[in-house]
Chains A and B, each alone.
Chain A
Amino acid sequence: MSQALISAITEMREEDARQITTQLLDGGADPLKILDSCKQAMDIIGDQFENGEAFIPELILAGEMIKSISEILKSHMTEEVVTHKLGKVVIGTVQGDIHNIAKDIVVFMLDINGFEVTDLGVDVSAEKFVEAVKETEATIVGLSGFLTTAYDPMKVTVAALKEAKADVKIMIGGGQVNERICVYTGADAYGQDAIAAVSLAKQWIGA
């Protein structure tokens, strides 16, 4: 672990984070160890988000830093790294809704926390969710929607997954989603933000 790199990322010092990465590589550091530091930094930022100390700008900037560090590391990796994935998630914004900002943050946070995420994008029909679950054998489905008109498509999608006997847990999320809508749609749970999505997913796979 590089404390200097972790600090640079958690303190949002973007340029420093890149420089430290290059220095570490020049000094012969193992790229995988550098990735571990990135992961550690994201855990800290995730905790800060949960405690109301970090917010969306920090999540987005941290995401950018990790992306650019990964780019730098790529040229130093001799072989494809096969990381053990915690579980598989299929996610998308439901039919009729094209909002993607919050969903993209959820995808990123699930990914960085070790899940293999299939992102179906926006305006995704119930059939597409069912197909994707069959194809990927995912055990978790995330339905996103920003508008109140997303309630019914969520309900329809949950019903279609049940109809297809998909062995999945379903979470819903979005600006107008709450406990009442969770019950209305028949989903297993709802989450207020990306961190909640990660803890639900971890809880469901028993991690």
Chain B
Amino acid sequence: MFPMPENWKELTVKERQTARLQAWANAGLEFTTPEAKKAYEQRTRMISDVVQLKKPERIPIIPWVGVYPAQYNGVTVEKLMYDYEVLGDTFRKFNADFLPDSLVSCSMIGPGKVYELLNIQHYHWAGHGTPPNTSYQYVEEEYMRADEYDTLINDPSHFFQHTYLPRVVGSLGPWAMLSPWTNVIELPLVAMAAVPVGIPNVQQSYQKLLAAGQAALEWFGAVGPIENASMAGLGLPQIISGITKAPFDYLGDTLRGTRGIMLDMYRQPAKLMEAMERLVPIAIELGLSGANAANSPFVFMPLHKGADGFMSNKDFEKFYWSSLKVVLLGLIDAGAIPYIFVEGGYNQRLDIISDSGIPAGHTVWMFDQTDMKEVKKKLGGWAAFGGNVSGSLLKAGKPQEVTDYVKRLIDDVAGDGGYILANGAVLDDATAENVHAMIDTGKEYGKY
């Protein structure tokens, strides 16, 4: 948990960021060796320097890793979702063998048992709708209908409880019968709100939720020591803790779907804008709660439906960027560091995102298929950036090609610091030689 200083309200935004970075660097881990402690300090220092646009002693290497550790360890993703001993072996091995500069966390793999107990409908996962060796995948539908904007805007929490969750979580279907808890304002209304909870199938849904909660806690209890072993044993700081999204993706990914939200841009733009504005404080709180709980300043934000080709720059500014910017500023104001993963290409968007309204040295931008020389031109001196080593190269290239590519990338854009070496698309499938080539080249060639 982030120990918030008592004078928090009096601190400037920069001081708040520094407080979070310092708390993260002094995490209170019981390191197993002095070397691990030293390595942890060095890594947090390098990453802090990069965020604050200074030249670190070496380029930090923070690969974005999905399910690749399973393939590397010769086990299925499905196995990792059910057998936490194998989960631990797999991620400890991956972290130890590749030694990146931040923890590759096992938490994103998730617990299959919990998803089964809840009867999750809107995702397929390894062995449950997708092959045992793949990542989870989203089943995109219009889980919120076009005529439900007012219900969402009026009370997002109740919309989730009463409408959204019953549609996507099989075991919570009966929650459609629950009334809003904001009804509970006079004693007789307490009883009225409790009535639907007594209905037998609502009771059953709570039984399932209790079982899922227990299974989730078991999983969480297993994950903690696994992460801790790599953090304290190898000196790997945790980067990703909080997660949140751009309001457009919050709505477009989770509720309306791509087709739905794109039609809303034409058919009901005012409602769409109003809903995104309503989601802004929720998105900020979501990111901060994770950052606070894990005592890491970084809030991971994958950007999806605003990439090149998804809409014009004019629409991007209006529908995507305007509310995303407010979320970024809200996170920054609380001292957090948005760690933004820009999926796809953002070649048309660089002028818009390098917005002078966002203070320099408070964001990190990781790119996939964007021209990195242009990124440096537009973002250099304003925000830390990185990424771009492609999934296709790591899968189908040769180690020498990876080495050459990484060297060229460093030559092109890393000169002044403020740079992180990373892959572009999430690492699910690759060859170990290529992943080593990326990381090892960064370590050797990335010294300043």
Contacts and interface: CB of A to CB of B under 8 A. Distances in A.
Interface of A: 12, 14, 52-53, 55-57, 60-61, 64, 95-101, 123, 147-149, 151-152, 175-178, 180-181, 183-184, 193
A55 B140 contact: no
Given A56-B311, A148-B395, A148-B427, 8 more contacts: A56-B262, A56-B310, A61-B262, A64-B263, A151-B392, A175-B425, A177-B392, A181-B392
Given A96-B134, A175-B344, A176-B391, A61 B263 contact: yes
A68 B310 CA distance: 23
B64 to A, nearest CB: 12
Interface residues of B, number: 39
16 contacts: A55-B311, A55-B315, A56-B258, A57-B315, A61-B263, A61-B266, A95-B131, A147-B137, A147-B429, A148-B395, A148-B426, A149-B133, A149-B135, A152-B429, A183-B396, A193-B309
Interface of B: 67, 124, 129-131, 133-135, 137, 139-140, 258-259, 262-263, 265-267, 309-312, 315, 343-344, 348, 390-393, 395-397, 425-430
A101 B261 CA distance: 13
Contacts of B312: 53, 55
B129 A98 contact: yes
A180 B312 CA distance: 29
A123 B134 CA distance: 12
B425 A148 contact: yes
Contacts of A12: 266
Contacts of A52: 348
Contacts of A61: 262-263, 266
B311 A180 contact: no
Contacts of A60: 258-259, 262-263
Contacts of B425: 148, 175-176
Counting chain A CB atoms within 10 Å of each CB, the highest count among B131, B309, B392 belongs to: B392
A56 B137 CA distance: 22
A193 B129 CA distance: 27
A97 B396 contact: no
Contacts of B315: 55, 57
A57 B266 contact: yes
A95 B132 CA distance: 12
A115 to B, nearest CB: 21
B309 A56 contact: yes
A183 B267 CA distance: 42
A101 B429 contact: no
A151 B428 CA distance: 11
A10 to B, nearest CB: 13
Nearest to A61: B266
Contacts of B427: 148
A37 B428 CA distance: 46
Contacts of B393: 180
Nearest to B396: A184
B260 to A, nearest CB: 10
Contact of B134 (A56, A57, A147, A181): A147
Contacts of B344: 175
B92 to A, nearest CB: 23
A28 to B, nearest CB: 31
Contacts of B428: 147-149
Contacts of A178: 390, 392
Contacts of B267: 14
A188 B187 CA distance: 71
A56 B311 CA distance: 6
Contacts of A177: 392
A52 B310 CA distance: 10
A98 B263 contact: no
A152 B140 CA distance: 24
B1 to A, nearest CB: 35
Contacts of A148: 391-392, 395, 425-430
A64 B264 CA distance: 12
Contacts of B392: 148, 151, 176-178, 180-181, 184
B122 to A, nearest CB: 11
Counting chain B CB atoms within 10 Å of each CB, the highest count among A96, A151, A177 belongs to: A96
B140 A151 contact: no
Counting chain B CB atoms within 10 Å of each CB, the highest count among A55, A97, A100, A152 belongs to: A55
A53 B134 CA distance: 36
Contacts of A151: 392, 395-396, 429
Contacts of A56: 258, 262, 309-311
A123 B258 contact: no
B360 to A, nearest CB: 30
Contacts of A53: 312
Contacts of A183: 396
B342 to A, nearest CB: 13
Nearest to B262: A57
A111 to B, nearest CB: 16
Nearest to B425: A176
Nearest to B401: A180
A180 B391 contact: no
A56 B425 CA distance: 22
A62 to B, nearest CB: 10
A57 B139 contact: no
B259 A101 contact: yes
Nearest to B397: A180
Contacts of A14: 266-267
A57 to B, nearest CB: 4
Nearest to B393: A180
Nearest to B137: A98
The 8 closest A-B pairs by CB, nearest first: A148-B391, A57-B262, A184-B396, A96-B131, A148-B429, A180-B392, A149-B429, A60-B262
